[in-house]
Amino acid sequence: MNIPSHIFTIFGASGDLTRRKILPAFYHLFAGGMIGPDCIIVGAGRKKMTDEEFRELTLEALLEAGLDGGEGAAKWCTGCVFYQCLGEGSPEDYGRLGERLDELENAHNIPGNRIFYLALPPDAFPSVIGNIGEAGLSGSAGWSRLVIEKPFGRDLESAMKLNDHVHRWFDEDSIYRIDHYLGKETVQNLLVFRFANAMFESVWNRDRIDHIQITVAESLGVERRAGYYDAAGAVRDMIQNHIAQLLTLITMEVPAAFEAGSIMQEKIKILRSIMPIRPENIVLGQYDAGKIDGKEVPGFLEEDGISAGSATPTFAAVRLYIDTWRWKGTPIYIRTGKRMPAKTTQIVVVFERPPVCFFQTIEGCALRSNVLNITLQPDESFTLSFDVKKPGEPFTLEPHDFHFSYADAFGRLPDAYETLLLDIMTGDQTLFVHADEVEASWKLFEPAIDPDLPVARYAAGTWGPGKAAELLIRDGHSWSVRKGR
């Protein structure tokens, strides 16, 4: 793979995301030969550090990630990893950053190609983007790209304002709104699974699919993100971005080509085709104390850093309908929550049963729906259930599975950030989110962030409030989660 030489500047260089994900992903790419020594990393932040101190932080991050922090990593750090203090973030501080980038480009013969990665809290985005623009850092001799972590805005109005602000300094084709779920191999394979296998695409419609479920469950609480999460909640943290992206990929029409623009157009069409969400199709919840894996865990209001009496939802479930020829009348159920029994991300496609029940038992119809389960984490896999006759008498049908596991077939999968970082460096926007997608998604899910909506309670270690189950029960369905092997 031909990666152009460039400088990759990480704002928020000493933060949790940089340590846990970005730096280990960079070293994986370097150790695997995907990037070379002409990919220079510059950490930028308010904390005072020398180059050597930031290199020590980088080596610690590699060890924490279970990587080799030995001689090879130390050599990579010495040649490729640098740090620039931003102090209070004044124009002079950004001017000094620009001088440092110029020096490194001259020293390493880099033709002015620059990437700016904002690994920062969302409220810092506008000021940092403005400072980058005002200091002329994006006006170098080569190309410049801006990478922004989610969430992009807090609602439709703020997202539109942030888009306008970013577009003052960067063209849309230079902006990479990152959603790490899109970097997962299984997510990318949704397109291959649907559009490269005619046997599935031919039944991917309202005539053959009874309903679809998307579950993104976390067993952890707010951990070290209490301040952010208390201001965000489940809809802003997961549904408006991660789940919206999964929803579009599983329901979009066939794109004209496998390239960013065509895929983006089809995703936006889906978001704009979803019928307005009514309050009776929204269930919000907040976890109380309970047990997970036999251990007592505190309720949300007892977590450190959560404001007293907070009504922030830690769970959300929504029923949707897509008003298109393909999906008219097919319900789609989505849910996400913290302090649930397991950490898992699954898409469940439930097919229609045969119209006539040919196989009868004394209990009644023996037929079940075929179910396709796409597990994105922790065991990336595809499982299709089907009925077979159990040997002997009486006549009995028994469900069995076709199962494909990525780990069994391919071993270790690349971390999502490795995939996304490579795409940023090569200029491939296929797995990133366009400005129009962001605004369409916020417009769709704004009813679910209405502060007047009731927030029910649920015990930690359960699958959310009882009303979430009622969303499906009223349609004759129930939530489905497949246990890992």
**Nearest CA to 118 among 5, 39, 8, 240?**
8
Does residue 6 have an active-site annotation?
Answer: no
Q: How far apart are CA 362 and CA 476, in angstroms?
A: 22
Burial profile 214-249: b = 16 or more Cβ within 10 angstroms, e = fewer: bbbbbbebbeeebebbbbbbbbbbbbbbbbbbbbbb
Residue 245 CA to residue 179 CA, distance in Å, equals 9
Per-residue 3-state assignment (H helix, E strand, C coil) for 380-403:
CEEEEEEEEEECCCCCEEEEEEEE
Parallel, antiparallel, or unpaired: how do β-strands 315-321 and 282-288 relate?
Answer: antiparallel
Tokens describing residue 428: 């491939």
Burial 285-307 (b: 16+ CB within 10 A, else e): bbbbebebeeeebbbbbebeebe
Nearest to 419 by CA among 183, 187, 192: 183
Q: Are 332 and 247 in contact (CB under 8 A)?
A: yes
Strand pairing report for 360-361 and 381-390: unpaired
Catalytic residue, chosen from 28, 242, 403, 434, is: 242
Catalytic (active-site) positions: 242
